[in-house]
Chain A
Amino acid sequence: MPEFETDSNLVQEYKYGFFTDIETDTIPKGLNEEVIAIISAKKNEPVWMLEWRLKAFRRWQKMKNPDWAFLDMPEIDFQDIHYYSAPKEAVDMKDMDPELLKTFERLGIPMGERDALSGVAMDVVFDSVSVGTTHKEMLEELGIIFCSISEAIQEHPELVKQYLGTVVPPGDNFYAALNSAVFTDGSFCYIPKGVTCPVELSTYFRINAADTGQFERTLIVCDDNATCSYLEGCTAPARDTNQLHAAVVEIVALENADVKYSTVQNWYAGDEEGKGGIYNFVTKRGHCRGRKSKISWTQVEVGAAITWKYPSCVLEGDGSVGEFYSVAFTNNHMQADTGTKMIHVGKNTSSTIISKGISAGKSSNNYRGLVKVVEGAANARNHSICDSLLIGRDCSANTFPYIESEDDSAHLAHEATTSTISEDQLFYLKSRGLSEEDAASMVVKGFCKDVFKKLPLEFSVEAIKLLEIKLEGSIG
């Protein structure tokens, strides 16, 4: 009898499943033009922004929730969601609500003065609002703008107007349209010409309030010859109802710009029966607009009941480079349908895709990706590696690699493997004195190595630790 099976009795604890009891300013459930006007008014937005939202909303009303991914989920009642919830006390870095500060401490996020010297500038989005950005002054000296998108709309309307919705247009897809109508906060980064951002820019997203959707909007613009590395992390309380997180992230890379975007997604994934958890429906896209620009996505997805996202690159500038490195772990009843799109438009563009999917429990974990080479995109190159690892017998993994090439000069290579953690591997490692858990964890970490080494160092340590915790519950 093989000893290696998933055990649903072993439930690992979700460390971030607590709720912070603070007074909030929450608008009633429901979605209509009035609600959008209220959100816009709360943010004191200019008229053009409200009009932009309403236009998106009208588009959205005509759209249908897509069903092509065959995800198993109940119909979402979009009228049964709060579209805005914010801590009541105005929050400012200097006099933050002590409850909030405590929350961030528990989440391991440095927000106080004491930590201001660490090498990460942090923006934190709590439910619908950004509650503080660190390192602002130092960044300002370099001309770097790193603030909440709400603030950017007020303070830098010309930049927002110029770039917002140019990578992910409001009508791009159902959830992008919804986000464009109701987005409440998110981060904005602008790195001016020739500047290399000296710290990691980071946003931490926290869903706290119940029945609230989080619709964050992030816009990153890297001007000519500029470089930045951006990190994103997320958690939410454990609740037995599902919550929607529908974000849009847009990246613009101008000539010779280099943007690295890393995510550790650890939303609450529901319990072992599949009750509750976050629906993580996200549109992330980067536009390599300038020559020789580069956008690199690295994601470690270990949470959320359903993950549905495809961080993509449109490689328009000649010689531009797109990268996608992903580890997606699913357990219990989690579903992940994730991958990337690499659209080769310019000449001599290249892209790399490395995707590692690990499924345990009764979860399903799909890679879905598109490599497209349009006519005239001479000498496009892509190399894709999509590997799946199964733990136990009740989970599934699928790979859907789509390739469309309209140019004969393209060089496209695709490799895919599906394997299980073999009994022989476990026996071998155990016979060397490693426990079953350590043995399995070692096999999984080895499997993910190619992706982990792409993460910024500190993040990589955190991601490995997180994966270890997640594995504890899946190996019995």
Chain B
Amino acid sequence: MSYLQIKNLHARTGDIEILKGVNLEINKGEVHALMGPNGSGKSTLSSVIMGHPDYEVTEGDILLNGESILEMDPDERALAGLFLCFQYPVAIPGVSISNFMKKAVDARHPEGKAPAGPFLKEMRENMEYLDMDKAFANRGLNEGFSGGEKKRMEILQMMMFKPSIAIMDETDSGLDIDALQVVAKGVNKMRGPDLGLLVITHYERILTYINPQFLHILMEGKIVMSGGPELVKTLEEKGYDWVREQIAVTA
């Protein structure tokens, strides 16, 4: 049994059905990539997994460690081990990063309060690893951040919260090559037997830094093709039209 199981997932926002039967299984220790053209439902899938209130699941189920999480609030899902790297993290003005991080780490601590010393030490080390300035910790969360700073902030959170399943929603979009390398560095550090990773992306570029074991292609709300690392190469050469042709052939 896989750690994260998405079974025949249908979801809509308003009257529009976006996910039309997604099946996907991710285990700890695995790195999956999810690609697809614009509007195929990639970001919707990540929002639905995290429990965004704008989406309604009409059919199917999501299981984490064997338990359905559909009835859980986003905060409960987070504490159960899910993490979402946002494509567009919002600013929370006036809330310092250190304050926010402490609260979020406290929420995960068995006694409800993580000792300040080790917390600060770990945060400083991780920030250094991600080439983030120490003074950054005093800034307002995502307040006036550049695109690259926001994404580093997301990776920093992933490193601090230590999820069992992390979803990266187009973390690479809008990043220059330096920022992309830093993000990849963070992700590769996190890789290991305790983390299952779903990397949602529009471009193959990031996949050359984060070598996924599996690639899935999402089209019109369904995963239409899955494969190993070789599929990345084929897709890069032949594009989505080739995928469409293949589906038509098999259909």
A contact residues vs B (CB 8 Å cutoff): 1-3, 422-425, 427-436, 438-439, 442-443, 445-450
Number of inter-chain CB pairs below 8 Å: 76
Interface string of B86-124 (1 = CB under 8 A from A): 100110111100001001100110000000000000000
Name the B residues within 8 Å of A433 (CB-CB).
Answer: 75, 78-79, 104, 107-108, 161
Assess whether B193 is interfacial by the CB under 8 Å rule. no
Assess whether B74 is interfacial by the CB under 8 Å rule. yes
Which of B54, B94, B107 lies in contact with A434, CB distance below 8 A? B107
A425 engages B104 (CB within 8 Å):
no
Name the A residues within 8 Å of B107 (CB-CB).
Answer: 432-434, 438
Identify the closest chain A residue to B100 (Cβ): A442
Q: List 14 A-B contacts (CB under 8 A).
A: A3-B53, A423-B54, A425-B92, A427-B50, A427-B74, A428-B90, A430-B78, A431-B84, A432-B157, A434-B103, A434-B107, A443-B92, A446-B94, A446-B141
CA gap between A435 and B107 in the complex, in Å: 9
Name the B residues within 8 Å of A1 (CB-CB).
Answer: 53
A425 engages B90 (CB within 8 Å):
yes
CA gap between A425 and B92 in the complex, in Å: 7
Q: A430-B75, A442-B103 are in contact. Are A450 and B94 (CB under 8 A)?
A: yes
Assess whether B73 is interfacial by the CB under 8 Å rule. yes
Name the B residues within 8 Å of A431 (CB-CB).
Answer: 50-51, 74-75, 77-78, 83-84, 86
A446 engages B53 (CB within 8 Å):
no
Assess whether B186 is interfacial by the CB under 8 Å rule. no
B157 engages A428 (CB within 8 Å):
no
CA gap between A422 and B100 in the complex, in Å: 17
How many residues of chain B get a CB closer than 8 Å to chain A's CBs? Answer: 29
A3 nearest CB across to chain B (Å): 5
B172 nearest CB across to chain A (Å): 20
Q: A430-B73, A432-B157 are in contact. Are A438 and B92 (CB under 8 A)?
A: no
B78 engages A446 (CB within 8 Å):
no
B83 nearest CB across to chain A (Å): 8
Name the A residues within 8 Å of B74 (CB-CB).
Answer: 427, 430-431
Name the B residues within 8 Å of A425 (CB-CB).
Answer: 90, 92
Q: A2-B53, A3-B53 are in contact. Are A432 and B92 (CB under 8 A)?
A: no
Assess whether B140 is interfacial by the CB under 8 Å rule. yes
The 3 A-B pairs at the shortest CB distance, nearest first, are namely: A446-B94, A449-B94, A446-B95
Name the B residues within 8 Å of A436 (CB-CB).
Answer: 73, 75
Assess whether B52 is interfacial by the CB under 8 Å rule. yes
A428 engages B92 (CB within 8 Å):
yes
CA gap between A2 and B14 in the complex, in Å: 12
A428 engages B75 (CB within 8 Å):
no
Name the B residues within 8 Å of A446 (CB-CB).
Answer: 92-95, 140-141
Name the B residues within 8 Å of A439 (CB-CB).
Answer: 75
Chain B contact surface mostly:
mixed
B95 engages A435 (CB within 8 Å):
no
B131 nearest CB across to chain A (Å): 22
A467 nearest CB across to chain B (Å): 13
Name the A residues within 8 Å of B108 (CB-CB).
Answer: 433
Interface residues of B in 134-160 (CB under 8 A from A): 140-141, 157
Identify the closest chain A residue to B75 (Cβ): A430
Identify the closest chain A residue to B160 (Cβ): A432
CA gap between A450 and B93 in the complex, in Å: 11
CA gap between A431 and B169 in the complex, in Å: 14
- Max chain A CB contacts within 10 Å: which of B51, B84, B89, B95? B95
CA gap between A438 and B94 in the complex, in Å: 15
- Max chain B CB contacts within 10 Å: which of A429, A445, A450? A429
CA gap between A433 and B157 in the complex, in Å: 11
Identify the closest chain B residue to A2 (Cβ): B53
Known: A431-B78, A432-B100. 13 other contacts (CB 8 A): A1-B53, A2-B53, A422-B90, A427-B50, A428-B89, A429-B92, A431-B77, A431-B84, A431-B86, A433-B75, A433-B79, A433-B108, A434-B103
- Max chain A CB contacts within 10 Å: which of B51, B75, B103, B157? B75
B13 nearest CB across to chain A (Å): 11
Identify the closest chain A residue to B91 (Cβ): A425
Name the B residues within 8 Å of A447 (CB-CB).
Answer: 93-94
Name the B residues within 8 Å of A443 (CB-CB).
Answer: 92, 95
Name the B residues within 8 Å of A423 (CB-CB).
Answer: 53-54
CA gap between A442 and B6 in the complex, in Å: 32
B231 nearest CB across to chain A (Å): 30
Name the B residues within 8 Å of A428 (CB-CB).
Answer: 86, 89-90, 92
A260 nearest CB across to chain B (Å): 22
CA gap between A436 and B76 in the complex, in Å: 11
- Max chain B CB contacts within 10 Å: which of A2, A3, A424, A431? A431
Name the A residues within 8 Å of B50 (CB-CB).
Answer: 427, 431
CA gap between A464 and B52 in the complex, in Å: 29
CA gap between A445 and B52 in the complex, in Å: 24
Interface residues of B in 41-55 (CB under 8 A from A): 50-54
A434 engages B104 (CB within 8 Å):
yes
Q: A428-B86, A432-B157 are in contact. Are A448 and B94 (CB under 8 A)?
A: yes
Which of B78, B83, B95 lies in contact with A445, CB distance below 8 A? B95
CA gap between A449 and B84 in the complex, in Å: 28
CA gap between A1 and B93 in the complex, in Å: 25
CA gap between A422 and B50 in the complex, in Å: 17
- Max chain B CB contacts within 10 Å: which of A423, A433, A436? A433
